[in-house]
Amino acid sequence: MSTVAAERELLFGSTARALRPRALKVTDTGFPKAADEVRIAFHPRALSAQTRASLEGIAGARIEPTDEGEDGERGTLSCSRERLETAAEQLAEARVLLGAVRCLAPPPERPRLMGVVNVTPDSFSDGGRYLNPERAVERGLRLEGEGADLLDVGGESTRPGAQPVSAEHELERVLPVVEGLASRCGVRISVDTTKADVARACLDAGAEVINDVSAGRADPGMLPLVAERGCEYIAMHMRGEPRSMQRAPRYVDPVAEVCEFLRDRVAACLQVGVELQRMTLDPGIGFGKRLRHNLELLRRLPELRSLGRPLCLGVSRKSFIAHATGELRGDDWEGNRPTGTDDRLAGSAAAVCLSVLGGAEILRVHDVAQMGEAVAVAVGVNRRDTPRNRRED
């Protein structure tokens, strides 16, 4: 079995989907890494009595229930990494739990910045400002000059309360922009769409990434298209749809539930032939989530890395920032104002830094130059070894 196939089975196979493991903590003991203490959340009910006894038989291991699930189905395993690795030699379930721990590798040295190019009249951040294709292309080129590694072109607003548009109308907006950028810019182009027809036309025009807020649920043709074309695919968590997603969303544990949703969507992608190494996952900050849910996701972002796929975070200018500062009242979840959202810059920078420290690999931002500075500071904090050739103040 190839390395990719082994990883696919370990993290997204039937055993992994039953156990749903998330690495909660790896405590450095000061000894070789194998002696580290690990704590893993999972579903103990997925274990047979014999398998549970084998895990509990690991010296020093503890399986304890948690209050994360309404039905008490979630629990945690705490033990030494060394002994878990020994158990994994014989026990498939132990291998799956260990796989979640091994995904907590060091974050990337520098996340990629994805510059936002909205071609919509009703986007929450800059609606109508770049509706003209020429202005949108100029916007993309400017973001590239500021340091964007990717450009994300969107022709349908997904802000809370947004109304859908037809594929034909969306293509009228985005296709000239994708064609213009593909002929003039030197970075990869992403298209923010849930529609297979839009994705196909934009891939033909030079786009290389599909950023799908529905994770393939909105259009049954999307995942087969991604598999056929072999493009990079970003699958996002969203509860409900843009028109209704902020109407009293509820979670028992938002991190566990988002992680479980994304695991299932990766499995759906794999089932139709999407390559594992082409997938990036987005927890969907602001999509069907209230302030406390968004902050909990940012605080516990490393747990989502248990899925072993790169994480994309879109925190820029979002309304949760205004809720955190008290600028918006608690029942205002559309968060739109006639003056726009440019004044959420400082809050966006703080959220970007948290995303970097949590291990995000792609950051979708409106203000590339400013967020690039924030990323540089956060990367410096994350870096364990200061390069020898750097002169310190």
Q: Exposed, middle or buried: residue 18 (CB in 10 Å: 0-12, 13-18, 19+)?
A: middle
Q: Which residues does the annotation mark as catalytic?
A: 318, 364
The answer to whether the CB of 341 falls within 8 A of the CB of 290 is: no
What are residue 159's phi and psi, to 5 degrees? -65, 160
> Residue 180 in 3-state DSSP?
helix
In contact, 266 and 297? CB cutoff 8 Å? no
Cβ atoms of 60 and 47 within 8 Å: the answer is no
Element (H, E) at 65: strand 62-65
Angle between helices 254-271 and 3-12 (to 10 degrees): 130
CA atoms within 13 A on the CB side of 110: 13
Residue 365 bridge partners (DSSP) = 115
Please state, in angstroms and rounded to a whole number, the distance separating the CA atoms of residues 96 and 309: 15
Tracing tokens 């500071």 back to the chain, one arrives at 377
Residue type, 358: G
C-alpha 96/C-alpha 282 separation (Å) is 22
Q: CB atoms < 10 A from the CB of 110, how many?
A: 16
First-to-last C-alpha distance (Å) of the chain: 51
List, in sequence order, the alpha helices (H) in 272-344. Answer: 291-299, 301-304, 319-325
Report the distance separating Cα 192 and Cα 266, nearest Å: 18
